[in-house]
A and B are shown apart, each in its own frame.
Chain A
Amino acid sequence: QKEVEQNSGPLSVPEGAIASLNCTYSDRGSQSFFWYRQYSGKSPELIMSIYSNGDKEDGRFTAQLNKASQYVSLLIRDSQPSDSATYLCAVNPTGYSTLTFGKGTMLLVSP
């Protein structure tokens, strides 16, 4: 069973703070990792993908990957109320052509 674990939250941060979202995965051979944002009642939207160890930055978002620890994180700098959503971690397990998702972490950014 390929698993992806996330803290369900909610994670509450004040506006302007850094939000840190974490994810662990069980399949050591996984090669690609994704963060999706989902607003209530909407489709999951890809915001970051990462394939190699280290950090990847895109605007206010930074994804971090540590394959040895089987750990992926997403940092959101200068959090805005519009960032309030559920953040889904997804992994493409070895030998599969699809994604395995975590349950998601709800982020609440208060003005």
Chain B
Amino acid sequence: EAGVTQFPSHSVIEKGQTVTLRCDPISGHDNLYWYRRVMGKEIKFLLHFVKESKQDESGMPNNRFLAERTGGTYSTLKVQPAELEDSGVYFCASSQAYDLDRVNEKLFFGSGTQLSVL
């Protein structure tokens, strides 16, 4: 079974440019999450999709970030225009159930996209 895959693994862009990150969740997982880790900080929640709907986008930093999940399969996260403080590792995760309190419900992570804004 394929895991959560993210593309690209690394991206180096200049301030003001646009970058689009892609995530393919595990097949059959309705729940898709975006997280970000800025250097020296903890992994922080950005957004949660249930199928194609945004369940919770309280972690999105500002309106330069746009996440989509058309058709409820893969998701994209676009940063436009990118700023220096957007640098970090962007993780995608997926789960089968909505309720992470369910015993043995798991959140599976991708390897992340390392974004560097120069």
Contact = CB atoms under 8 A, between A and B. Distances in A.
Q: Helix, strand, loop or mixed for chain B's interface?
A: loop
Contacts, number: 56
Given A4-B42, A42-B111, A97-B100, 15 more contacts: A31-B101, A34-B107, A43-B110, A43-B111, A51-B101, A51-B103, A88-B43, A92-B100, A92-B101, A97-B55, A97-B56, A98-B45, A98-B100, A99-B107, A103-B41
A46 B106 contact: yes
A32 B101 contact: yes
Interface of B: 3-4, 31, 33, 35, 40-45, 48, 55-56, 91, 98-101, 103-104, 106-112
A102 B43 CA distance: 7
Interface of A: 4, 31-32, 34, 36, 41-46, 49, 51, 88, 92, 96-104
